[in-house]
Amino acid sequence: MIGQLPSVLAVALADFRERSRRYTFWVFLVLIAYATYLFIPAPGAPYTTVRFGDYRGLYNSAWISCQVTLLTVTILSLVGFYFIKGAVNRERRLKTHELLASSPMSNFAYLVGKFGGNVLVLLSMILTLALTSALLQFARNEDRTIKIIDLLAPYILVITPVMIFVAALAIFFDSVKFLRGGIGNVIFYIFWVFAIVTGGMNRSEIAPLLDFFGISFLWNEMMNGCAAAVTSYVPWEGIHSLGFNFTRSGPPQLGTFLWNGPHWSSSFVLGRVVLLIFSVAVVSVSAILFRRFDEEPGKVRQRFFGKKTAPAPENQSTATQSSADTQNISALTPLAVHSHKVNLYSLLTAELRIALNGVSKWWYLIAAGIFVAGMLTPFAISHKFLLAAAWFWPLLIWSAMGCRDQLFDTRQLVQSSPGGVWAQLSMQWLAGFLTSGSDWWIYRFPHADIRRLRLAKSLAYWRNVHSDTRHKLRYRNRRQEALRSSLYVDILHRSAEQNADVRLHGQCHQREFSDKHHTLGHDHPCAIDDCFRQAAMAGLSRLSATLIKLIS
* Residue 57 backbone dihedrals phi, psi, to 5 degrees: -80, 155
At 481, is the pLDDT very low, low, confident or very high (cuts 50, 70, 90)? very low
Highest mean pLDDT among 498-502, 520-524, 543-547: 543-547
Q: What average pLDDT does the structure give for the chain?
A: 73
Mean pLDDT lowest among 121-130, 183-192, 209-218, 482-491: 482-491
Share of the chain above pLDDT 90, in %: 22
Tell me the three state secondary structure of residue 48: strand
Which of the pair, 124 or 369, is modelled with greater confidence?
A: 124
pLDDT bracket for residue 176 (50, 70, 90): confident
pTM beyond cutoff 0.95 = no
Given a cut of 50, is residue 154 above it in pLDDT? yes
| Residue of 387, 385, 378 lying closest to 484 (CA atoms) | 378
Is residue 428 within 8 Å of residue 350, measured between CB atoms? no
167 vs 164: CA distance, rounded Å: 5
pLDDT digits 0-9 by tens, 285-319: 998 888 776 655 554 444 434 444 445 444 545 44
Q: What is the mean pLDDT of residues 202-217?
A: 77
The answer, yes or no, to whether residue 20 has pLDDT greater than 70, is: yes
- Average pLDDT for 147-173: 94
pLDDT at 228 over 80: yes
Length reported for the chain? 552
Q: Hey, which residues does 52 pair with through a beta bridge?
A: 55, 240
Kindly calculate the radius of gyration of the chain based on its CA atoms and give it in whole angstroms: 31
The dihedral built from the CA positions of residue 290, 291, 294 and 297, taken in this order, carries a sign that is negative
Q: What is the pLDDT of residues 451-460, one digit of tens each?
A: 333 343 344 3
The pLDDT, as a whole number, for residue 245 is 84
pLDDT score at 397 = 75
Which position has the higher pLDDT, 121 or 43?
121
Which of 165-169, 225-229, 256-260 has the highest average model confidence (pLDDT)? 165-169
Question: What average pLDDT does this structure show over 268-276?
Answer: 92
3-state secondary structure of 200: coil
pLDDT, tens digit, for every residue of 199-208?
766 555 677 7
Domain-by-domain residue ranges, the chain? Answer: 5-289, 344-437, 450-551
Average pLDDT over residues 51-55: 87
Nearest to 171 by CA among 275, 100, 272, 90: 90
Predicted confidence band of residue 487 (pLDDT cuts 50, 70, 90)? very low
Region 92-100 average pLDDT:
72
* pLDDT band at 494; cut points 50, 70, 90: very low
Instruction: Give 329's pLDDT tier (boundaries 50, 70, 90).
Output: low
In degrees to the nearest 10, what's the CA dihedral of 198, 201, 203, 207?
40
Q: Once rounded to an integer, what is the mean pLDDT over residues 501-518?
A: 41
Q: Is the pLDDT of residue 439 over 80?
A: no
pLDDT of residue 544: 58
Order the strands of the 255-257 sheet from edge to edge: 240-246, 47-52, 55-57, 255-257
Residue 465's pLDDT is what? 39
Confidence at 433, pLDDT banded by 50, 70, 90: confident
Q: Given pLDDT bands bounded at 50, 70 and 90, which one contains residue 539?
A: low
Residue 114's Cα: distance from chain center in Å? Answer: 25
List, in order, residues 6 or more apart from 331 with CB less than 8 Å away: none
Helix (H, G, I), strand (E, B) or coil at 50: strand
Residue 3: the pLDDT is 67
How much is the pLDDT for 97?
A: 67
In which band, very low, low, confident or very high, does the pLDDT at 281 lie, cut at 50, 70 and 90?
very high
